[in-house]
């Protein structure tokens, strides 16, 4: 699991039907101090989050399908939480 | 999940039979602004897409098999959508 | 599996319910000599560990769900041990 | 899935029994133009291929076990096709 | 799957119980010529191997659990063979 920041949204009309039911977020990967690492991933908004918010992302298919309660969903990455704070010692 | 661009197609005659039923696309990985990152993957065209089109790719085996409706398919990467637009804030 | 060092904790109130039941640790990845590699991951504390402790982390979803005894948990990374020593020849 | 080139073979006598039934190929990873990327993987020859041949490799465990028709096989990477041509636009 | 070399062992007393039943090896990743790549992983010794030996490592959870014959084991990486030779053309 990793920390990301919502950078935007992706739109697709010709696609697998399950993708019509969820917002598809562009999420920048952050390091643990909150700085972007340069990478990103496309994640379904299982927890609602807006642009600029820091989020916890699960990048694993079987768990993602459990979150969506859809055992056939073609997904790998979902937003599972909004990050309130990261406390580093 | 990631954004890619169809760069071409791969042909194989000696192969696992399931691969005869689907086009095998060469997909360049793109960053979120649409620039190529230098990487690629080979993905089945579960959603039809032509050279130059931007696509959403799922890179995870169990979900890929669900998309193909074939629980025994030896696949990991499938095109699950054509990208209309990427809106970055 | 990899060796990490607990760097802190992440807090989230708006999230998938299972994440309320476990501490979410920020774990720095270490190389085998104990030096940080620059990477990190967010892992559930299936074994209790405090800041600064070296831990063994499992980064794989199906095994992580077994550790939590929750087949629906949206997780991928869990702390499965506290490292006493690493003996290199 | 990725394109590779068979570079050689690996031999092992003390091993998990399933590995006795398949050739273990050393496969160099290629980029989409056919140039080596510097990486490699060890893959079972589910489709027969000789040194120098370009192959399509599946790098995912559950699909690999389906190809071998052995649900308990400790494998992740298998050669699933010989590449005839890669057509880039 | 990849080729590695056993570099040492890791010890942990506070851990998930299944980890008490297996030696936890530190395995350096090798390239196909036998040179270290700088990476490592922690793997269970499903096949016995000593420091300095070259081994074949499976880095995939479901297959690893099959090797250990324990469907609940929190593991991802196991040593599945000792390498006798790598023949490159």
Contacts of B51 in chain D (CB under 8 A): 89
- The pLDDT tens digits for D34-88 are 999 999 999 999 999 999 999 999 999 999 999 999 999 999 999 999 999 999 9
Round to whole Å and give the CA distance between C46 and C56. 11
Subunits with 3+ Cβ pairs within 8 Å of A are B, C
Contacts of B41 in chain D (CB under 8 A): 1-2
Band (B59; pLDDT cuts 50, 70, 90) = very high
- The pLDDT tens digits for E1-48 are 999 999 999 999 888 888 888 999 999 999 999 999 999 999 999 999
- How does DSSP assign C38-75, residue by residue? EEEEEEE-SS---TT-EEEEEE-HHHHHHHHT-TT---
Round to whole Å and give the CA distance between E33 and C12. 46
Question: Which of B11, B13, B26 lies closest to D32 in CB terms?
Answer: B26
Provide φ and ψ at A50, rounded to 5°. -105, 170
- Ramachandran category for residue A69: left, alpha or beta (phi over 0 → left; psi -120 to 50 → alpha): left
Residue C76, classed as helix, strand or coil, is: coil
Q: Find, in chain E, the residue whose alpha carbon is nearest to that of C37.
A: E39
Burial of B1 (0-12, 13-18, 19+ CB in 10 A): buried
Position E45 scores a pLDDT of: 95
pTM more than 0.90: yes
Residue B6, classed as helix, strand or coil, is: strand
- Average pLDDT estimate for B9-37: 93
- pLDDT tops 90 at residue D20: no
Question: A12: closest CA among A23, A27, A28, A1?
Answer: A23
- The pLDDT tens digits for C50-83 are 999 999 999 999 999 999 999 999 999 999 999 9
Provide φ and ψ at A21, rounded to 5°. -95, -5
Residue D62, classed as helix, strand or coil, is: helix
pLDDT more than 70, % of chain E: 100
- The pLDDT tens digits for A20-31 are 889 999 999 999
Question: Which of C1, C61, C64 lies closest to E41 in CB terms?
Answer: C1
Asked if B39 and B67 touch (Cβ cutoff 8 Å), the reply is: no
- Average pLDDT estimate for E54-83: 94
Round to whole Å and give the CA distance between B54 and B38. 15
ipTM score of complex: 0.91
Position E5 scores a pLDDT of: 98
Burial of A45 (0-12, 13-18, 19+ CB in 10 A): middle
Contacts of B28 in chain D (CB under 8 A): 32
- Ramachandran category for residue B38: left, alpha or beta (phi over 0 → left; psi -120 to 50 → alpha): left
- Average pLDDT estimate for E64-89: 93
Q: At CA B47, angle to CA A73 and CA A40, rounded to 5?
A: 65
Question: Which of E62, E64, E86 lies closest to D62 in CB terms?
Answer: E62
């Amino acid at each position: 699991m990793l920390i990301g920041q919502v950078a935007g949204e992706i739109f697709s009309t010709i696609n697998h039907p399950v993708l019509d039911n969820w917002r598809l977020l562009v999420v920048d990967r952050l390091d643990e101090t909150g700085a972007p690492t340069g990478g990103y991933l496309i994640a379904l908004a299982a927890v609602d989050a807006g642009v600029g918010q820091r989020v916890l992302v699960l990048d694993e298919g079987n768990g993602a399908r459990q979150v969506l309660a859809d055992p056939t969903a073609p997904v790998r990455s979902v937003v599972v939480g909004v990050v309130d704070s990261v406390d580093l010692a």
